[in-house]
Structure 1
Amino acid sequence: MITLIKNANVYAPLPMGINDILICDGRIAAIEPDITLSGKHVTTVNANGLLALPGLVDALVHITGGGGEGGFHTRTPQMSLTDASLSGVTTVIGALGTDATTRSLPDLIAKCRALDSEGISAYCYSGSYQLPIRTYTGNLTDDIVMLDKIIGVGEVAIADHRASHATVSELVRVASDARVGGMLSGKAGIVSIHTGDHETCLSMLHQAVSESAIPPTQFYPTHINRSQHLLDEGIKWADAGGFIDMTTSTNAQFIAEGEIPAADAVAYCFSRGVCASQVTMSSDGNASLPVFNEQGELVGLEVGKVGSLHTSLAGLINLPDVTLQDAIATVTSTPASILKLKQKGQLAPHNDADILLCEPGSLALSHVYAKGQLLCHQGKALVKGTFE
């Protein structure tokens, strides 16, 4: 399958100007000002006036569903292919959350393989909220080294009443095992951290780094836009050399209670000197968005949306003092770099042909390509999941 995209305004995410993009065998073969190719096996797409961006990399999605804090009937549904593709998400990282009892790592890995077969790229984390962690092989390092889909561990919960309230030494051991697994396999070995709303914030991570040889880049805390206080603490973590992630799925009550919309939180980080290479956004798609009262009782529940990632990106590019390339980086090259997904997040020869063609200003999606296949066109899914 050969596709030639003509006259796109390419943001790779660095701006490259007007270029043609040649796709061959699922990868980008060339990006040049004037590529001439014809024949019955070549599909030519006129991208005049459209931006070309990398496909979005969503670093946290509960692809097999999440939730359950309100009983069995509150377990959220699994993600479908078009939940991602219609919003320009071409790579997802799956995770377990609160529930590692009725949700399992074998199911998570199987869902990754299913999404791969259906058209996008999927990876996952070993473990869940709890420590000691649950693994597939019985050993975290072995999980990362031997299982191609597993790239790290998480999301391990801290500062949350649903966490295991583990010791710092337990967290350091997990980070060490993940780090060694990453080194041996060439993967990230990252520790994805679910950060709750307790006043301890990121203190456990600071303590883990200060009391060990583990660098701050081994931890990847998310939900940093949960409150202004946590956001400011997240900036301190970034100043110490770490990465931070904002959650795009939210609801009106969360915002009323002090959560910062993800785009606003990223813009605030930029204004405080945080580099685009240190801050990301992820959807927390298909997670439960539980609302608890002061007694810790569940009083409401909604479901996170993968599509919120694209919506937040579209909002971010229109905020003051935010460059288009920095905004795009937060959902493409930066998460791909943190997670060591070398073929993802950038438009470059030999990378996977995950490409979005979209309208300037609104980022309304015209074409969504994943691994060279046109999945969506003008808001319609051309390829659907097996049971959609």
Structure 2
Amino acid sequence: MEHIILIKGASVFAPTAQGIKDVLIAGNRIAAISENLTLENSNLPVTVIDGSNKLLVPGFVDSLVHYIGGGGEGGFATRTPEMQLTDATLAGVTTAIGVLGTDATTRTLTNLLAKAHALETEGISTYCHTGSYEIPCRTLTGHITDDLILIDKIIGVGEIAISDHRSSQPTLSELRKVAAAARVGGMLAGKKGIVSVHVGSGKSLLQPLFDAVAGSELSLKQFYPTHINRNEALFQAGLRFAQAGGVIDFTTSTTAYDLQHGEVAAAAALQRALAAGIPAMQLTMSSDGNASLPIYHANGELIGLEVGKVQSLLTAFQSAVLEYQVELSAALTSVTAAPANILGLKQKGQLAVGKDADMLLLNRHDLSLDTLFAKGRCLVSAGKPVVWGTFEKPQHCATGG
């Protein structure tokens, strides 16, 4: 028998405001959203949760995470650690997309896919992109199109690097061929086949993507460029890209050095893009969790390295609403409905009958996380994990002697 959960009296954002509602979860799906829901058969095993003074919102969709770590730009000792389940759940993330980055030699697609399956078993929904920074792309089957068609969890390609000294310096023809293969594979598999694009601080900015689309049958929406808040010049180029019909992503993980040297905080970038008239469904934020965040001198020398945090996604969302006065539904859209739509994840990013029961209860006053459900299962309660990853050590309260 499916377990039934009834959340009573929460202020529902789907991500648009729906008012005070009750929400019924049956198994892993949302069964009903209405006022004053009751169950006629009192013999059903029902868990009732008081949602009063809470916001009930969709679980976050993090479109860029390094499940198995990344980096190594400073040598083997600088390879960053793998993500654990509670890195995601305590950040409000119920769906994550894993990628490879600079290193596709010691970090492999087989390892990435295995980690995706592990995290799914532990409780959240996971997907992957084939490829990495470089072109020709590393793949599992030998071809981008085949990976998309034959491997359920692979939904796109990336993150392909442009305008970056760590990229493979792809040609116009190479970018087009990757996008075309992703497009065809996506069509045949019923997926979006998006190309996730890592954009560095090089002077070409987003021009390679404009050039790849010009004179071809490709669309700007085939590409999903990230790190658009890296500096002011790239942010302005990102606005032009979005105004031309593309979608753009702001990275929430950062360093004090980068912010002091021109990076636009993700929450501020979201506020400014919305103020510039970019529709919320074209704007997303992602964590770049567990990526390396290398710090380079102007001459290209590596002078430091930090690690991306999935938690930064929740922090940036909170900052957008509380500090930058972004409308709550718009801020939510950037981490729920917009990335789900861009990636073609039809069951994710919204609260609606029949959708997956991925949802968060947030405390109204500070938007902190109280409860998280992933596919109808409670993984976080009262702000603390109730489900841990297989090799995570639960933090038990100390008892006095």
TM-score by length of 1: 0.99
Equivalent runs, 1:261-300 vs 2, <5 Å: 261-300=265-304
**1:277 aligned counterpart, secondary structure:** helix
**Partner deviation per Cα, 1:56-76 (whole Å, 9 max, x = no partner):** 000000001001001111000
Pairwise mapping of residues 300-339 of structure 1 onto structure 2 (< 5 A)? 300-319=304-323, 322-339=326-343
Measure the CA separation in 1 of the matches of 2:21 and 2:246: 35
Give the equivalent residue in structure 1 for 2:218.
214
Most deviating of 216-225 and 311-320: 311-320
Aligned to 1:256: 260
Task: Map Cα deviations across residues 113-149 of structure 1 (whole Å, 9 max, x no partner).
Answer: 1011000001010000000111000010000011000
Question: SS at the partner of 1:317?
Answer: helix
Is the Cα contact below 8 Å between 2:267 and 2:324 reproduced in 1? no
| Structure 2 partner of 1:124 | 128
Matches within 5 A, 1:165-180: 165-180=169-184
Answer yes or no: is the 8 Å Cα contact 1:318–1:361 preserved in 2. no
CA offsets per residue over residues 314-350 of structure 1, 9 Å max, x none? 0111245521111100000000000000000000111
Whether the aligned pair in 1 keeps the contact of 2:186 and 2:193 (CA below 8 Å) is yes
Larger CA deviation: 31-40 vs 197-206: 31-40
Q: Which portions of structure 1, spanning 4 or more consecutive aligned residues, are displaced by more than 4 angstroms?
A: none
Q: Give the percent of matched residue pairs that are identical in Structure 1 and Structure 2.
A: 55
Secondary structure of 2:113's match?
A: helix
Q: 1:225-267, CA deviations, whole angstroms, 9 ceiling, x for partnerless residues? A: 0011110100000011000000000010000110000000010
Amino acid at match of 2:98: G
After superposition, residues 1-388 of structure 1 pair within 5 angstroms as 1-37=3-39, 38-39=42-43, 41-319=45-323, 322-388=326-392
For 2:74 and 2:138, how far apart are their aligned partners in 1? 22
Local SS of the residue matching 1:217: helix
What is the distance in 1 between the residues matched to 2:296 and 2:236? 24
Cα separation, partners in 2 of 1:117 and 1:349, compared to 1, 3 Å: same
The code of the aligned residue for 1:371 comes to K
Q: How many positions carry a matched residue from both structures? A: 388
How many angstroms apart in 2 are the aligned matches of 1:133 and 1:361? 46
Which digits, 9 at most, give the CA deviation of each residue in 1:6-46, with x for residues without a partner? 00100000111011000011110010111112445110001
Contact 1:267/1:319 (<8 A) preserved: no
Separation in structure 1 between the aligned mates of residue 282 and residue 91 of structure 2, nearest angstrom: 23
Distance 1:61 1:18 in 2: 33
For structure 2, the 5+ residue unaligned runs are: 393-401
Deviations 1:147-193 (A, max 9, x none): 00000000000000000011011100000000001111111100000
Distance 1:26 1:218 in 2: 31
RMSD of aligned alpha carbons: 0.9
CA distance in 2: counterparts of 1:94 and 1:258, whole angstroms: 27
**CA distance, structure 1, for counterparts of residue 149 and residue 99 of structure 2:** 18
Q: Aligned equivalents of 1:197 and 1:259: distance in 2? A: 10
Q: Is the 8 A contact 1:58 1:283 kept in 2?
A: yes
Secondary structure at the aligned position of 1:17 is classed as strand
The match for 2:397 is none
Whether the 8 Å CA contact 2:55–2:363 is kept in 1: the answer is yes
Q: Give the counterpart letter for 1:31 in structure 2.
A: I
Q: Distance in 2 between matches of 1:317 and 1:124?
A: 30
SS of 2:53 mapped into structure 1: coil
> AA paired with 1:4?
L
Unaligned 5+ residue runs, structure 1? none
Q: Which amino acid aligns with 2:8?
A: K
Structure-2 separation of matches of 1:62 and 1:365: 23
